[in-house]
Amino acid sequence: MCYIRLMQPIQDFVKILVLKRYSKNTINSYQSHLRLTRMHFENKNLEELKDKELFEFVYHLVEVKNISPSYQRQIVGALKLFYKEIYGRTIPFEYLKVQRNEQKLPIVLSKEEVKRVIDSIDNLKHKAIISLLYGSGLRIGELLELRKSDIDSDRMLIHVKGAKGKKDRYTILSETVLFILRSYYLQFKPKDYLFEGQKGGKYSSESAGQVFKRSLKKAKIGKRATLHTLRHSFATHLLEDGVSIAHIQKLLGHTSIKTTLIYTHIAKDSLFKIKSPLDK
């Protein structure tokens, strides 16, 4: 069967999500999950797949690929919505949902480790990206959508538009980052987006991830960190420096303060001042 014909339902689904005003990050995520499904079943039409085949596919991802609970929730949600919107079909996915939230704490880099990572980067564009992710607590998707006009150097703020939950917000702009950005802008002269690829257009999250991975190795940091670790580190370090949890919530754009409260379990101020009774 023609590849274009096999991909058409996914393209139609993306158009529906656009019309329903889903965020770009959600659309890209759902599209990625469906392409993975398409590749797994090779030349089989998605409409012809039985419920049992879809269940076995998710089981394969969990048991063989060892996907995380959050990834499992995302792909189950994507498939369920896709079949409802495109084929008017309800997939009984209830027992494939993750019922219990894991209580894992996010990985955080120390301030010294962040400095080592940034210092290890020679390329000015790469240094600007990693510095901005940490210095302002941005998600990678938010950073890649930035334009020059979103950087307010007079108020030392960054205007984050259409972030998660389709909400705009402001976050802080570091003086150190502003200095790096000005040097970067003079050298690279981006046209549309603040960070662009070699052939124009938005810089890719995959490329940014590879930059960070190389910088971790160069800085000799063995933690299993990702780009999102920089955001976790930003929030944790602010809390350690005495910034209120309510202000951190606003900077991160969390709808519920419960999401932000996880950083109280990591911050040194709340843990490292407690003395073991054995030491007393």
Positions annotated as catalytic residues are 139, 164, 228, 231, 254, 263
Which residue has 């019309």 as its token pair? 19
The rounded distance, in Å, linking the Cα atoms of 260 and 253 is 9
If phi > 0 it is left, if psi is from -120 to 50 it is alpha, else beta; for residue 262 that is alpha
Helices (H), 88-221: 111-119, 124-136, 140-144, 175-188, 205-218
The rounded distance, in Å, linking the Cα atoms of 25 and 193 is 16
DSSP state of 274: P
To the nearest 5 percent, what fractions of the chain are helix, strand and coil? 60, 5, 35
